[in-house]
Chain A
Amino acid sequence: MKQFFFLGWIVVCGILAVPISGPAQTTLEKIDKSGVLVIGTRTGSPPFAYVNKNNEWVGFCIDLVEKGILPVLHQKLNKNIKVEKKESAPQTRIPLLTSNAVDLIAETMTDTQSRREQVDFSLTYFATGAQFLVKKGSPIKNIQTIAGKRVAAQQGSTNAKLIRERVPSAKLLEFPDQPAAFQALAQGQVQAYTNDGIQLAGLRAKAPRPDDYAVVGEFFSYEPYGMAMRKNDSDFRQAVNVGLMNAISSGLYFEIYDKWFGAKGEVPYPMTAEIKRFLQMQVVPK
């Protein structure tokens, strides 16, 4: 038995030695070779990225990539590029990126300084803050009133970290993904679910009985969303940023926003003048 284990260890080391070699490739080269842009996105975060009633995978982020960023790639690489979607979640998105399984994380990922140590972010394409989703009539009104209560959050999210730091007395339950956390709230297993306000609005709008829920509390954090990509990949980052900037300056961004968040959209969530200005000011002159 022992020699098996020892030999097994050698085999494992051998397998590990292989990745050390191998050519480094920029993302643009990779996309050029394969003709595919692989994005990591969600399946349960309406309306950013989710599976709708017709079981189609759609969303605000997906539209931004397909309509805003893809044309820039077409132009740069002079060929038709397809988009392939893979499911990502807070605890898997960075590993998926660094292992080359996806090229771009296009979901509700908050741009933070510590995350910038591992990945690069595009410019901020939306800004919101953390709030709570509760059942209507719940005594929980904001972050001050969650002490001692059971609160759900997504494993690996910024919200989970904040609750743990700021309200250690709250019983934080981390779930593998958003729908699991929401279900826990729906079934009463937790008393509140914390996530970014706009996502909570989306969940509520898509819930079987939206009026049973309420989004409460002032923003207790600042959550700027950016699209994440591998570090030290400036050409690809340039392409992504140019795509987003073009979309904002041409008005395409606001059309897409209106489609999903407008008055007749999936999740009505009017854009404040402040955020609109912020987005427009990120567009640097050509």
Chain B
Amino acid sequence: MDFRVVFQNFSFLMLQGFVGFGGFAGGTLRLALPAIALGFVLGTAIGLARLARARWLSLAAGVYVEFFRGVPLVMVIFWFWFIIPALLGTSLPEYMVALTAFVVFEAAYLAEIVRSGIQAVPRGQVEAATATGLKRAQMMRHVVLPQALRHMIPALVTQFIVLLKDTSLASIIGYVDLTKAAQIVNNREIRPFELYLFIAVIYWLCSYGMSRYARYWEHRLTPSHS
């Protein structure tokens, strides 16, 4: 076992692969962070749509969620990899393809988290809000969502951990994330044990670290009063 290969390529693996600075447009973080932010926005919209009173809206949102939860992420990535350039008639950097695929896919899961967060808000709150004359949209914005957010945070952090691990799949279309960076070095140096062990440790640190953070929030948010 010779870990020199890791040290020699450390900046390529971490700066280029993990963060995203370098000649190749890549980066695990550069993909994961916007994906969770945008995915949350889209997921909230779809989650709200599922709770809408208009039947067509809740049905459409339901189809969206069930569809993306029934197909592998790998498939979704391939779909966008071929469809987007074909539709637009032009080529796109892998980053845009991967980001779109992740946002659309994760939104389906985030929509469920948002929906259950909203449904966990006690009905009394909704009734009180209506009684004080708030319209439905106002009620959502000022009463329900802020409270729902507290319920959602642990699940959101968990989903972010899942997303961080899922970004490794972007390597399949050539996006230079941490996994792909390790593959590139391995293809040249043929040292799979050292390289894959190294990236496993990096992913593990992030994932475990964040899950402890989620548990901290879960403790903080389990209200002692309810």
Contact = CB atoms under 8 A, between A and B. Distances in A.
Is chain B a partner of chain A in the same complex? yes
Interface of A: 1, 3-5, 7-8, 11, 15, 18-19, 22-23, 25, 30, 33-34, 36, 38, 43-44, 50-53, 55-57, 84, 86-87, 95, 98-103, 177-179, 182-183, 186, 206-208
Contact of B12 (A4, A7, A55): A55
Nearest to B23: A56
Given A4-B59, A19-B87, A56-B23, 13 more contacts: A3-B59, A4-B66, A4-B67, A8-B66, A11-B63, A19-B86, A34-B91, A36-B91, A43-B187, A44-B188, A177-B187, A178-B187, A182-B190
Contacts of A84: 91, 93
Nearest to A24: B89
Interface string B38-64: 000000000000000000000110110
A172 to B, nearest CB: 21
Given A43-B187, A55-B12, A30 B90 contact: yes
Contacts of A50: 188
Contacts of B207: none
A179 B22 CA distance: 23
Interface of B: 9, 12, 16, 22-24, 59-60, 62-63, 66-67, 81-83, 85-94, 174, 183-190, 192
Nearest to B81: A101
A57 B23 CA distance: 9
B63 A8 contact: yes
Contact of B89 (A22, A51, A95): A22
Contacts of B186: 179, 183
Contacts of B92: 101
Contact of B91 (A1, A56, A101): A101
Contacts of B67: 4, 8, 11
A94 to B, nearest CB: 11
B91 A55 contact: no
A44 B185 CA distance: 10
